[in-house]
Structure 1
Amino acid sequence: TGGIYDLDYWVIPKGTPNKDAALKFIAFASTPDAQAEYARNIAYGPTNNKALAKLDAKVLANLPTAPANSKTALQFDLKFWADQGEELEKRFASWAAQ
């Protein structure tokens, strides 16, 4: 079975007064330990591959970034949804209203 995965990003707005704290948070959130703990509580796949080694097979089975699952996964197509999303949303709303 395959799945669809999407990517999220951490950003720090230019001119933020808490830049150092934001950098520390991103550094912490990117560690294998933090990502493994997060994955144990919600099935979001770690982006740090070293986190995968810290997880048991039961947790790995539910993660999109586990090697067995990522082999058949497709990346969410942002361009498609940017180009087609509004029209498809209208069509879906029309269908759902019937």
Structure 2
Amino acid sequence: MTWNAWVIPKGTPRLDNAYKLIAFAGSPQAQANLTQYIPYAPGNKEAVALIDPAILLNVPTAPDHMARAQPMNNAFWAEKGDELNQRFTAWLAK
């Protein structure tokens, strides 16, 4: 489990539209609708209740999946990521 974010570039001439886009895209209904096309996890928790139960089985943030989710340990990957990627690549090459 990891995090993501939306940003608005500083100085944008369309600040109001940027806020409107984020409000729309982050709304429960828009995020629930997106799962009909790709099983991305909605960032808005209220969207989960709006997702078709058959689709929810494939969404990473389904309640059953979240019960076993592990948060990303960014400190670990910052320290060990390069080493582990090299080891994995070496293993793949065998």
State the TM-score, normalized to the length of structure 2.
Answer: 0.84
Percent identical across equivalent pairs?
A: 46
Aligned length in residues = 94
The reply on whether 1:89 has 2:89 as its aligned counterpart is: no
* Larger strand proportion of the pair: 1
Q: Bigger relative contact order, structure 1 or 2, given CA contacts below 8 A and separation 6+?
A: 1
**What is the alpha-carbon distance in structure 2 between the residues aligned to residue 64 and residue 83 of structure 1?**
26
Instruction: Specify every segment of 5 or more residues in structure 1 that has no aligned partner in the other structure, as ranges.
Output: none
**What is the alpha-carbon distance in structure 2 between the residues aligned to residue 66 and residue 8 of structure 1?**
17
**What is the alpha-carbon distance in structure 2 between the residues aligned to residue 25 and residue 81 of structure 1?**
33
Aligned with residue 14 of structure 1, among 3, 10, 15: 10
Instruction: Specify every segment of 5 or more residues in structure 2 that has no aligned partner in the other structure, as ranges.
Output: none
**What is the alpha-carbon distance in structure 2 between the residues aligned to residue 21 and residue 41 of structure 1?**
25
CA RMSD of aligned residues (A): 1.6
